[in-house]
Amino acid sequence: MADQTSASTYAPSGEPAHQSWPVILETKGWKDYRLLDMGQGEKLERYGRFTIVRPEPQAMGARRQKESVWNRADAVFSGDTEEEGPGRWKFSGSVPETWPMSYGPVRYNGRFMSFRHVGVFPEQAAHWDWVNGKIRAERERAPEKPLKILNLFGYTGLASLLPATEGAQVTHVDASKKAIGYARENQEMSGLEDLPIRWICEDASKFVAREVRRGNTYDGIILDPPKYGRGPKGEVWDIYTSLPGMLADLKQLLDKDALFMILTAYAIRSSFVSIHELMAETLDTEGGLLESGELVIREEDGKRALSTSLFSRWSSR
């Protein structure tokens, strides 16, 4: 569903990965999502049947749509423009607490959350499609092999539900009981309650360290950490100081025939080169392909693209 750009050559296992950067992964939207316009530090989007205005520091250009179009938005978020900052929603009329949307076989609820979120990060569609493609290819190659996927900082669960629809066994970890609840609601909405997903509410670093001690391994790892965060017992996460140690542990969780590992970073004053080099250092003997760059969303008219986040992802084949 999402357009992607990627390299196609690989180094043999046991040697440094072939490296490709910068790579731009582009999402054009789908039935339930469109980037309608952007500019002057804000973006205008459609989620399902609602149009929404939210702060977006990356939207530095001029708006293309008329002011009257922006003024007809169903919801506007105002306040602190930092990703983790507080703010408030203002509604132009009566809106429900949640509303249904879908992506492929997965149905999920949109909801007006604090910190300007609405329950889904549409630019991640590029990764969702890529992961499911890797799983399908592996199941064709080795149909009897069980595939285990670890999704850390899993939020509302789309990156867990979609691989599960392809037959993967997924472990979903998030420190927020509320987010886990939303993810399970999405599973029920989708009619996918019978899929093999473990929902775990725990500090991600502690969970990973325990998995290392247990000797468990995974075929794929999805890592989407916040800039700052706290675990259920007040554990502190700081991406600059916590990420290197977690990646070192995650390398030990990769199965000897692992397929991939994805790292996405939002709202940090850094370059994709920084996380690329960190991943390259971590996976220096794994072979395969390491590609890094930015996730972007293309406007509905196709003329402009909005950069949303940095990524680095490794694949063995």
- pLDDT value for 90: 94
**Residue 189 and residue 278: Cα distance in Å, rounded?**
38
CATH code of 69's domain: 2.60.40.1180
* Confidence grade of residue 105 (pLDDT, cut at 50, 70, 90): very high
Q: Specify if 5 maps to a domain.
A: no
273 shares a domain with 291:
yes
160 shares a domain with 101:
no
213 shares a domain with 91:
no
229 shares a domain with 95:
no
- pLDDT value for 228: 84
Does the pLDDT at position 199 exceed 90?
yes
Does the pLDDT at position 81 exceed 70?
no
64 shares a domain with 167:
no
202 shares a domain with 302:
yes
* Confidence grade of residue 7 (pLDDT, cut at 50, 70, 90): very low
List pLDDT tens digits, range 179-188. 999 999 999 9
Range of the domain at 74: 33-116
300 shares a domain with 169:
yes
Percent of the chain surpassing pLDDT 90 = 76
Q: Specify if 69 maps to a domain.
A: yes
Does the pLDDT at position 155 exceed 60?
yes
* Confidence grade of residue 5 (pLDDT, cut at 50, 70, 90): very low
305 shares a domain with 176:
yes
Of 90, 116, 142, the residue that ends a domain is 116
The residues, ordered by sequence, that sit 6+ positions from 37 with a Cβ below 8 Å of its Cβ are: 43, 44, 63, 64, 65, 69, 70, 299, 300
Q: Specify if 7 maps to a domain.
A: no
- pLDDT value for 21: 87
134 shares a domain with 57:
no
**Residue 74 and residue 35: Cα distance in Å, rounded?**
15
Q: Specify if 182 maps to a domain.
A: yes
List pLDDT tens digits, range 48-78. 999 999 999 899 999 999 999 999 999 999 8
CATH code of 140's domain: 3.40.50.150
- pLDDT value for 230: 84
142 shares a domain with 52:
no
- Tally the domains of the chain: 2
Q: What is the pTM of this model?
A: 0.91
Q: Specify if 1 maps to a domain.
A: no
Q: Specify if 87 maps to a domain.
A: yes
Q: Specify if 78 maps to a domain.
A: yes
Q: Specify if 13 maps to a domain.
A: no
* Confidence grade of residue 272 (pLDDT, cut at 50, 70, 90): confident
- pLDDT value for 79: 72
128 shares a domain with 112:
no
Mean pLDDT of the chain: 91
Of 88, 116, 144, the residue that ends a domain is 116
Of 116, 139, 160, the residue that ends a domain is 116
60 shares a domain with 156:
no
